[in-house]
Copies of this chain bind each other. A is one copy, B any other.
Amino acid sequence: MYKKKTPKSRNSYNDSVKIFPGGISHNIRFFRPYPFFVKKAKDKHLFDIDGNRYVDYWMGHWALILGHSPNVVVNKLDSQIRHGTLYGTVNDTSIKLGESIKKAIPTSELLRFCTTGSEATMYAIRIARAVTKKRIICKTIGGWHGFNTDLMQSVNYPFEVDEGVGMTGREGDFVESIPFNDLERSIKLLDSVKDDLACIILEPVLGGGGCIPADINYLKGLEEYCKRNNILFILDEIVTGFRLNFGSASSSYRLDPDLITLGKIVGGGLPIGVVCGKKEIMQVANPVENKYKERICYIGGGTFSSNPLTMTAGYATLDYIGKNRKTIYNKINKLGDMARNGLTRLFSDYGLRTQVTGIGSVFHTHFLSNGVNEIKSANDVALCDNQALTRYHFSLMAKYGIFFLPHKMGAISVVHSERDIRNLMNATETILESDILMEKKD
């Protein structure tokens, strides 16, 4: 059925493999038999080149909290594209976006813009090493902080195996991986390296690792450990920043991280990464005050950092969300609850052992198997029945025009409605009735 509906995409994919290894520029964007090629996107919809329309829950890697090309952003970009896309110098729009972030996130006493999330996390740990004069980085197993060399450890299952070929094999010497949501075992591992431990970096909600919120006690325990031992506590909020509330997840959890990384939503649909943090820490990256190599932490670079298009889109987005924060977060968080509760009930009604994880407007379905009774870690996620998940996501897409990037969590945006969630439920129920999830072939 998918193949029948997407002949042009098949042709495009055949062209694409002649240009890109595997036909893609981002590994997770491939799925079998071939991904559909998008022609345009607006609000909640993706339109492919064959004329099919999809209700999108992937939403630009979860970045598009206002949906695709929202008018509040388009109206501002409309002028900015005519007046420069890349000044290569300082500009007032950076100040406006910077101030918006500062106001919303207490940790953000000073910040720096870069162009991607991978850059932001790389710079954050560099700052941590610089101010603590220690070397080891701690991350969680299954934690995803982009493909920078420093953090390419314990990302994908099997977590103990090197993250692919092309590394020196020595990168892991300065990275300690701890089990997500297991404070006791984590502390034991931390104790073994704490004299040389520069920072702990983790996501408040494991994103790429399977949409698993961290236990508040886990976060608080790690934070306390950091404060006691001169270790920086870094929250990677590239996904959660402005996703769960107007600001950082750290605020709602009453955490006090030293550094926070942002991306996605704050770029308003354009490329961005942000490192923000306490003033005395961030100043190590100040090139005006630290003139000599012995003192400065070089972060930044980046032809495109603070470019006026991103700054404009990001500011338009935060400005709009800020003014409508109550309505927006009430709505999307409620839809998130509706999706999680509804799907959980539905799968249970049909006798399937699943767990729908998530928080606020992000959610993800796991088909429990291999002795996993509760999803607490990326390891649990890896042991689930991922073939069933593939069939589920694929059926939603191919038969019902509902798009989740296969195996990835979904994100609800302000353009989604209760009706969309009901449609998702109805489609899921029809799929459950057809028994397709239990088939053993794709």
Contacts and interface: CB of A to CB of B under 8 A. Distances in A.
Interface of A: 12-13, 15-16, 19-27, 29-30, 35-42, 46, 49, 58-61, 63-64, 68-69, 73-74, 77-78, 81-92, 94-95, 98-99, 102, 110-119, 122-123, 126-130, 133, 135, 146-150, 152, 156, 158, 161-170, 173-174, 263-264, 267, 269-271, 282-289, 293-310, 313, 405
Contacts of A91: 37-39
Given A83-B40, A271-B271, A115 B112 contact: no
Nearest to A163: B298
Contacts of A83: 39-42, 69
25 contacts: A19-B111, A20-B94, A21-B286, A38-B84, A41-B84, A41-B87, A42-B82, A42-B84, A59-B88, A60-B85, A60-B86, A60-B88, A68-B85, A69-B85, A74-B81, A78-B78, A118-B119, A118-B301, A128-B166, A147-B299, A166-B284, A264-B303, A271-B271, A271-B310, A309-B309
A148 B135 contact: no
A30 to B, nearest CB: 6
B87 A307 contact: no
A61 B303 contact: yes
A166 B81 contact: no
Given A69-B81, A119-B116, A164-B130, A146 B27 contact: no
A114 to B, nearest CB: 7
